[in-house]
A and B are shown apart, each in its own frame.
Chain A
């Protein structure tokens, strides 16, 4: 049982690190603020939640494990709100979309 617990925790941490690094590659490669925000919000949030879940599995129901679960729930609730606020702020401050974008209904509606 102890070996299985250890292996499961390590696997969750490795998956989380993989998603983290994919998100950061997206932050470098994608051409536009909104696309970068998509990549980082999705990948980095779920990657960090996966690392915290791995910590919970490794540590069990002690002080550390329960705090890790609380931080994971908090991140899942707040990270999309921060992304939404940053996207709206970027659009209000006049950052254009990528020139090859298809459409921009938000600008057409006069906001």
Chain B
């Protein structure tokens, strides 16, 4: 029930942003559509909806977004320099790293962060064992623990506070 309510609020906000100059008719239609969608697919949205009430999670999320964008910019400059270099300095390979995150949303955000940060691309996730296979464009170490230290740990600490 709580999950349906959260989905209804998010859907209504997105609808009113899409039809931005706020209008009475658009708001009525948005209420009906958001209620319908929340009634049908609300149970699939979140397994632990009480997490949406914690304020500290939002504060950590506000800390996470600028850091993510900064890493993203660094990744772009890194890839552009590699591509424009005439010698093409790449040294690719697939490495294995470990994670301690368990929830689905947390793993999804971790994979997205890894994909958009310098030189790494998530290839597959093993949810039960907590293993990620990562394609690295410039392999610095072949050891699992050192690779975990280099790739996963800066995001994992923050994402654990947001999603676990």
List A residues at the B interface (Cβ < 8 Å).
19, 22-23, 25-26, 29-30, 32, 34-35, 37-39, 41-43, 45-47, 62-63, 66-67, 70, 76-77, 80-81, 83-84, 87-88, 91, 97-98, 101-107, 109, 111
Contacts and interface: CB of A to CB of B under 8 A. Distances in A.
30 contacts: A22-B80, A22-B83, A22-B84, A23-B79, A25-B83, A26-B79, A29-B88, A30-B83, A34-B123, A38-B120, A39-B79, A41-B115, A42-B75, A42-B79, A42-B116, A43-B79, A43-B80, A46-B72, A76-B116, A80-B115, A80-B122, A83-B121, A84-B123, A87-B121, A88-B123, A88-B124, A102-B93, A103-B93, A105-B95, A111-B124
Given A46-B76, A84-B123, A107-B94, 9 more contacts: A19-B80, A22-B84, A26-B83, A46-B72, A67-B18, A70-B14, A103-B139, A104-B94, A109-B96
B123 A97 contact: no
Interface in B86-133: 88, 90-96, 108, 111-112, 115-116, 119-124, 133
A23 B84 CA distance: 10
Classify chain B's interface size.
35 or more
Contacts of B14: 70
A18 to B, nearest CB: 8
B135 interface: yes
Interface of B: 14, 17-18, 20-21, 72-73, 75-76, 79-80, 82-84, 88, 90-96, 108, 111-112, 115-116, 119-124, 133, 135, 137, 139, 142
B150 to A, nearest CB: 15
Nearest to A38: B121
B92 A63 contact: no
A103 B94 CA distance: 6
A77 B119 contact: no
B94 A83 contact: no
A8 to B, nearest CB: 17
Given A22-B83, A109-B96, A81 B135 contact: no
A105 B80 contact: no
Contact of A102 (B20, B72, B115, B142): B142
Nearest to A70: B17
